[in-house]
Structure 1
Amino acid sequence: MSTRPHVLIVEDNKTLRRLLEYRLGKVYDVAVAENGQRALEAVEVRTPDLIVSDIMMPIMDGFALLAALRSDPATQTVPFIFLTAKSDDLSRQKGLKKGIDDYLTKPFDVDRLISRIGQIVQRSQLYQSKLNAKIGRDFSDRLLPKEMPVEDGYRTVFFSRPKEDGGGDLFDWTRGEDGSYLFTVGDIMGKGLQAKFYAFSFLSYIRSTIHAMLRETVSPARLMQRVNEMLIQDAVLEETFASLLLIRWEPGNNRIVFSNAGHCRPILVTPDGPGLVEHSDLILGLDPYTQYEDRSLDIPPDSALLCYTDGLNEQVARSGAMMGEAGVALAAQSALGAQQPVHALLSWLLQRSQDPQFEDDVLVFWLQRFGAAGIGARAA
């Protein structure tokens, strides 16, 4: 589909309608309608970025069309220009009170009309961009925790940087009655506000599921099974696919138990080198009969577990290839002894990237165990 703004012309005069279609069509994607009723039908097919409409038309006039659009939440903000032979102040004032963006009288200069359309569309797009960014930031605040667990002998670090209005990365944690912690790391397939909305809804499901089931099970695999069933059964989220990593951390036993539904594989970084935590099952939302498994892993002294979303491994290196798991593992190894390990990790990757910034959302969870000598929990 074209990226040019879409303009709908509503005019009952065939000659003028064809003239406007021809002239505006050099700059915009144009659709035409001969009256307000036909215009509403065209809007149902594709919502325009702006409407240019006559006032005096048969069947449905311009004021009736404007009223119908403003009464529908889906179209009430579409910019609207009246183009009419009526030049009296009464019609002009009535149009302005109804919320039109401009009012041009016939005869008119087509070049001026084209210029005015461009100004109004640009203003509308700027407003929408700022609104999307604000909504995206609000969703991000709701998707991400304000603080992290504190346990002797460990450091927990979380970092997130959405790209523009953000996508569907999510992270959450809760503490169980037995002193263990359950971490949720996920990624909704998609970009922008739609993915952010689904991530917010999805995280709500996960939270409610975990809180409801923690009294009967602490198994990440059983929790994953239930989340998968709910995701497939829910009408709102039935077309949503997500990767998810559920980790139960037992600081007293220096152990984690995890279940992975197609998410980026964690990396265990030890003094001897990094290693992938291999196991992964099918992503959520595809098959209601998928069986998920619990796997356990000990965290050795002076080691760290790195969990992340695909903004890291899909970052393009100077060679033109993606960093991949191997690149992220090398970055994690270089960060193990750093005072600010996540900062060191990201800096290592960017220094070797084509782009000086990350091309996608970035989310990192770093769980580090200090050595037996005891360094104490250091600041992130």
Structure 2
Amino acid sequence: MVMVINLQYRPATLKTASEARKEISATLKVRGVSDHLSNNIQLCFSEAAANLVNHTNPKPTYINVELECQDGYWLLHLSDDGQSWNPALPNRVQTLDTFEEKEGGRGLALIQSLTDDMEYTKRTTFGANKLTLKWKIQQISTKPSVLIVEDDDSQRRLFSAYLSEHYRVFEAENGEKALEFLLHNTVDLVISDIRMPGMDGLSLKKALHNETNTLLTPFIFLTYSDNPETRSNALGLGIDDYIVKPVSKSALTQSVQRVLNRSDQIYRQLTDKINQRITSALTPSLPSTSHGWNMSIASRNTGIGGGDLVLHRDTPDFLMVNLADVMGHDVAAKFFSYAYGGYLRGLMYQVEAEKNPCATLLNRLSDCALEDNLLSQVILTCCSMALFDDGTIQIASAGHPAPFKVSENLVEPLNIGGILPGVLYGAEYDVLTTTLKLGERIAIYTDGLFEAAEDNEARQLLTDKVMEALSDTRELPLQEATETIMSSFEHYGERHKDDATLILLELCARERE
């Protein structure tokens, strides 16, 4: 057991809950926990803590937070002295109990969907409520995996002994068993004897060519028979190496390392090309003017991946703009952004004739995120906007930070929120409709703009400076204002912490006259 956090937060407020979440984030980062798991733990904590602070009666006077690693699980314990509420009850997901579906209150359904297990103990007269959320730790080996296919038991055990120190080694005594294994498991390399009873090595390699998952698996042949016909047949199957028995340890290990290095190099080259194409496709862009609106956009990413996604569609009646933030900022986030981009593009064509296109789009996006096996593996937020010719803008939000309205001497958040996509079937989203006045702007952004900082003090400074820049740049041309605000982000924030995207909107000059 490794105890990581054991802190008591008094009083129980949203501010202290925010401080606890940052402690959890920092601790998990130090422990090397993946971004995906860390984000899930932080989200569940925030939802549970927000429920305790906002929706219980009597309210707790404290929240005690414990985070530990035990028996292959990360455990998050929340103890409090307020009203008892049991999120583990099955019917709570359907009713959402005291949770709100707005204001970021993704609630019980979110907690249950993002945890592997949970337990709840009600407080006694002088005791405390205790909620325990559990996440199973995935054990991942960093050693490359090798399958040895050899009908001679002693030879197979010898080759396995040669490689077991640096590789995960699996064994099969003939081609049939090797094929069965490979149809259900993935390995980095196959080493096979050519001559075996039943399915020999050549037949095994041919069979693997017919399977998508094994078509490109690196392959080394072993044989006693080094005649031109056998070598020609083997090389014709696209093998990576050909070793004549008897095989020494050095010859085998050098061949394995050489083949894996070459395979890794080819994979990285292919990945880089795909990555470049995806990066180009995901580069945020907007038209500078459309339907009587001026628009500008600026985006910064961590340099690793790109989790922010901006898409627009021009219809006869309005311009639709969608800003999505896929959780994480690694290559996986970039891939999921690309996948979600395809869904969003299709949905924008489907909803343009709807009365409330933004709300309808988020509803369908949410159902897709819940039902699709790929998209359900990641969390995102999305802000959807429709910009009309008369200066009216409709906004709907799915777990996304509230936009800001920038007026003279005032920067205020717009009151719009909604449940994260992919939490509930048939999620419904409200629409905020507003019309800008002369000299007003709307700022839509991803949360990295305010959260990409090292600690609480730095994060507050970043927030203050960005808000100050939003106000001070109101009279600047739109694109200049956007870049000035992003310069404040770059100066006071940490770009490597999170991606950040900012969109500014205002009416065209002719609309102001």
* Band of TM-score, shorter chain: 0.7 to 0.9
- Note closer, same or farther for the CA distance 1:263–1:311 as it changes in structure 2 (3 Å cut): same
Letter in 1 for 2:488: W
The Cα shift of 1:17 comes to 1.6
1:291 aligned to which of 428, 450, 460: 428
- Note closer, same or farther for the CA distance 1:14–1:320 as it changes in structure 2 (3 Å cut): farther
* Alignment deviations for residues 184-242 of structure 1 (CA, whole Å, 9 cap, x no partner): 11234577676555544544443343333323424422332344345556677566654
For structure 1, the 5+ residue unaligned runs are 375-380
Letter in 1 for 2:386: R
Please state whether the residue corresponding to 2:289 is helix, strand or coil: coil
8 A contact 1:267–1:329 mirrored in 2: no
- Counterpart of 1:62 in structure 2 is 201
Distance in 1 between residues matched to 2:147 and 2:451, nearest whole Å: 40
Distance in 2 between residues matched to 1:234 and 1:365, nearest whole Å: 29
* Alignment deviations for residues 249-297 of structure 1 (CA, whole Å, 9 cap, x no partner): 24643x4321101123333444535433343211122212322101134
The Cα shift of 1:307 comes to 2.5
8 A contact 2:329–2:499 mirrored in 1: no
- Counterpart of 2:53 in structure 1 is none
1:348 aligned to which of 454, 466, 488: 488
Distance in 2 between residues matched to 1:120 and 1:343, nearest whole Å: 48
- Counterpart of 1:377 in structure 2 is none
Does residue 358 (structure 1) correspond to residue 496 (structure 2)? The answer is yes
Does residue 282 (structure 1) correspond to residue 413 (structure 2)? The answer is no
Distance in 1 between residues matched to 2:426 and 2:489, nearest whole Å: 38
- Counterpart of 1:28 in structure 2 is 167
8 A contact 1:173–1:182 mirrored in 2: yes
* Alignment deviations for residues 104-161 of structure 1 (CA, whole Å, 9 cap, x no partner): 1112232232233223222222322232232233334445566514159964223455
- Counterpart of 1:49 in structure 2 is 188
- Counterpart of 1:103 in structure 2 is 242
- Counterpart of 2:254 in structure 1 is 115
- Note closer, same or farther for the CA distance 1:84–1:314 as it changes in structure 2 (3 Å cut): farther
- Note closer, same or farther for the CA distance 1:15–1:162 as it changes in structure 2 (3 Å cut): farther
Does residue 183 (structure 1) correspond to residue 318 (structure 2)? The answer is no
Distance in 2 between residues matched to 1:111 and 1:232, nearest whole Å: 51
8 A contact 2:175–2:199 mirrored in 1: yes
**Identical residues among aligned pairs (%):** 28
Q: Which moved more, 1:36-45 or 1:201-210?
A: 201-210
Distance in 1 between residues matched to 2:207 and 2:464, nearest whole Å: 57
- Counterpart of 1:209 in structure 2 is 347
Please state whether the residue corresponding to 1:18 is helix, strand or coil: helix
The Cα shift of 1:76 comes to 0.8
Higher helix share: 2
Please state whether the residue corresponding to 2:186 is helix, strand or coil: coil
8 A contact 2:279–2:306 mirrored in 1: no
Distance in 1 between residues matched to 2:208 and 2:287, nearest whole Å: 48
Letter in 2 for 1:17: R
8 A contact 1:303–1:370 mirrored in 2: no
Mapping for residues 1-380 of structure 1, pairs under 5 Å: 1-143=140-282, 147-150=286-289, 155-160=294-299, 166=305, 169-178=308-317, 180-188=318-326, 199-229=337-367, 231-232=369-370, 242-250=380-388, 252-253=390-391, 255-270=392-407, 272=409, 274-299=411-436, 302-317=439-454, 319=455, 323=459, 327-328=462-463, 330-331=465-466, 333-334=468-469, 337=473, 340-353=480-493, 357-368=495-506
Letter in 1 for 2:491: Q
Letter in 1 for 2:361: L
* TM-score scaled by length of structure 1: 0.81
8 A contact 1:269–1:333 mirrored in 2: no
The Cα shift of 1:300 comes to 5.4
The Cα shift of 1:169 comes to 3.4
Letter in 2 for 1:272: N
Letter in 2 for 1:211: Y
Letter in 2 for 1:330: K
The one of the two structures with greater contact order (alpha-carbon pairs below 8 A, sep at least 6) is 1
The Cα shift of 1:5 comes to 1.4
Letter in 2 for 1:358: H
Distance in 2 between residues matched to 1:116 and 1:341, nearest whole Å: 58
Taking only aligned residues, the RMSD between alpha carbons, in angstroms, comes to 3.5
- Note closer, same or farther for the CA distance 1:125–1:163 as it changes in structure 2 (3 Å cut): farther
Letter in 1 for 2:345: R
Distance in 2 between residues matched to 1:163 and 1:206, nearest whole Å: 23
